[in-house]
Amino acid sequence: MTLPTVSKRLIPFSFCACLAACGGGGSSQTPVTGDQFQPGVFEASSAFFNQCASPVPDGTNTETGVAYGSGSTTTENNWLRSWSNELYLWYDEIQDQNPANFSTEEYFELMKTEALTASGNPRDQFHFSIPTPEWLDSSQSGVVAGYGAQFALLSTTPPREAAIAYVEPGTPAAAAGLARGARIISVDGVDLVNSNDTDTLNGGLFPTAGGETHTFEVRDLGTSTTRSVMLTSAEITTTPVQNVSVITTGTGPVGYLTFNDHIRPAENQLIAAIDQLATANVTDLIIDVRYNGGGFLYIASQLAYMIAGNASTNGRAFESLTFNDKHPDTDPVTGDVLEPIPFYNTSTDNAPLPSLNLPRVFVLTGSSTCSASESIINGLEGVGVQVIQIGGTTCGKPYGFYPTDNCATTYFSIQFRGENNAGFGDYPDGFSPQNATQAGSVSLPGCAVGDDFNSALGDITEARLAAALEYRSSGSCPTTSVVSDGSSPQRASGTLTGPMNVKTPKPAWLENRLM
């Protein structure tokens, strides 16, 4: 199935990335005020579109070319109120409040449900906004501000623990010799473990722009001493597909790849990886998405096709979108009749995709495995491809949205749920390996295994990869693979176990399903 020429969709998820201390439509040029607010009565969102409280830098919506009209905070809030009522998946669970009483940032936070999942977590954890220029720059190119080191927060409250999850090649972090497993001891002289100065800690770990210089005390993996590292943030181009390799086993070659982000550059990198593995005639595939928060859904569909091949996917749905009950048959954003998203078998350049034609796949997961990554799992399950899960419970994000600009801010608000070819999409508490104990989650064959920061990703001794290989060989889990949330890895009976719920903060748009 050829990719459509319309814009691709993103599907969302976000969470707090910080350390803690102790304890649509056309525009209207006639501004409309909220002085006559009537609960339950809504004008069309188009009546308030792009009527902004403050002029934007160039006066034009950079995505649509529509001129921004003069307005007020109230008109911006009225747009949010009507837009949410039209498109939000749970619009009837929003408490309707006067838009004249809040700042726009405050009002957007009110435009969501307060319902909980079976496990007691908020059903909507994925509500966020970012400046439109930042969204356009980052989503198209994969460029983000940082050092090129993905930090993993093993514990966010004292005693805290942070480590390097992986490093992007050719970045300041790589030049400084940082690698997976290095522990962060202090940031700009502030003790990471116990200090209450979280502003300094967060400011150093998560720079918001290029050109920021911060000093880190780190302890590299395998050493007992620390060293000082000075890093200057830059615009980092991420490499979403890494560590592609073929593992030789007594029962045939096994392919492995790390897949960290569903961004546009991932398409060609995934095609190259699958080509390499197909040439090696791999008999199984292990995809490592433990740190993949999501992104563009079409890339998830392409990868699922490349895993399963034509025989399993031809004429079947990768994912079908369900909007709120106001839109049972039509996509309310594009106006198109609702049709399933297929398993795309071509690239965006309409070149045929390679495929491995596998009846099963092993996925290495964690709490940062979200959205489009979960769609790969659910989409393949829906067409009978067996998914064997090794690692931790995924985040639980069967929802998505169309990023929408108003007044130079792009809003991400849940607008649809995704269902596989079998009509299943109910996993708000995530997917869990069968021997895990996560309330409300959907159980899959596999093993609960902690994240191993004492080994490189792709190393066959790394706990999750080793468990996948053992399960493939014997059909059973390592005897010590079920672990608690303890942050210090421990070796027992030859199996390395470690923390299960590791936070790997990324920009919010990388932690969602995007259309």
User: Against a cut of 0.75, is the pTM above it?
Assistant: yes
Q: What is the pLDDT of residues 399-443, one digit of tens each?
A: 988 889 999 999 999 999 999 999 999 999 999 999 887 788 999
pLDDT at 148: 95
Range among 125-129, 343-347, 408-412 with highest mean pLDDT value: 343-347
Residue 229 tokens, joined: 């590292």
- List, in order, residues 6 or more apart from 267 with CB less than 8 Å away: 299, 302, 347, 348
Domain locations in the chain as residue ranges: 45-130, 143-237, 241-488+509-514
Rounded to the nearest 5°, which phi and psi values hold at 129? -145, 155
What's the CA gap between 53 and 491, in Å, rounded?
58
Q: How far apart are CA 211 and CA 59, in angstroms?
A: 28
- pLDDT tens profile 275-326: 999 999 999 999 999 999 998 899 999 999 999 999 999 999 999 999 999 9
Which parts of 38-90 are beta strand (E)? 51-52, 69-70
Q: Is the pLDDT of residue 107 over 90?
A: yes
Q: Which positions ≥6 away from 38 have C-beta within 8 Å?
A: none
- Going by the DSSP 8-state scheme, the letter that residue 90 receives in this structure is T
Q: Which two tokens stand for residue 155?
A: 């514990």
Q: How far is CA 294 from CA 26, 49, 72, 413, in A?
A: 30, 29, 35, 15
Nearest to 96 by CA among 87, 85, 104, 88: 85
Residue 489: is its pLDDT beyond 60? Answer: no
Q: How far is CA 211 from CA 282, 415, 417, in A?
A: 44, 37, 40
Label residue 5 by pLDDT band (50, 70, 90).
Answer: very low
pLDDT attached to residue 46: 95
Q: Does residue 340 have a cis bond before it (omega within 30 degrees)? A: no
Greater confidence (143 vs 1) lies with 143
Which residue is it, tokens 């369900």? 322
3-state secondary structure of 104: helix
d(CA 159, CA 148): 25
- Is the domain defined by 143-237 classed in CATH 2.30.42.10? yes
Residue 222's nearest CA partner among 487, 479, 453, 414 is 453
Can you tell me the distance from the alpha carbon of 269 to that of 427, in angstroms, rounded to the nearest whole number?
29
Nearest to 404 by CA among 54, 106, 111, 188: 111
Nearest to 319 by CA among 445, 188, 422, 467: 422
**How far is residue 19's CA from residue 155's CA, in Å, rounded to a whole number?**
8
* 131 within 8 A of 407, measured Cβ to Cβ: no
Q: Could you tell me which residues are beta bridge partners of residue 228? A: 217
* 197 burial type by CB count under 10 A (0-12 exposed, 13-18 middle, 19+ buried): middle
Instruction: Categorize the per-residue pLDDT at 68 as very low, low, confident or very high, splitting at 50, 70 and 90.
Output: confident
* Average pLDDT of the residues in 99-108: 96
Crossing angle (nearest 10°) for helices 297-308 and 372-381: 40
Q: List for the chain the helix, strand, coil content (%; round to 5).
A: 20, 25, 55
431 vs 390: CA distance, rounded Å: 11
H helices of 185-331, in order, are 198-205, 266-279, 297-308, 310-313
Query: CATH code for 241-488+509-514?
Result: 3.90.226.10
Classify burial at 218, counting beta carbons within 10 Å of its beta carbon; exposed 0-12, middle 13-18, buried 19 or more. Answer: buried
How long a stretch of residues is the chain? 515
| Residue 216 neighbours by CB distance under 10 Å | 25
Count the Cβ atoms, other than its own, within 10 Å of residue 493.
9
Whether the Cβ atoms of residue 195 and residue 188 lie closer than 8 Å to each other: no
Question: Burial of 295 by CB count in 10 Å (0-12 exposed, 13-18 middle, 19+ buried)?
Answer: buried
Match 């159980």 to its residue by tokens: 443
- pLDDT, one tens digit per residue, over 362-395 is 999 999 999 999 999 999 999 999 999 999 999 9
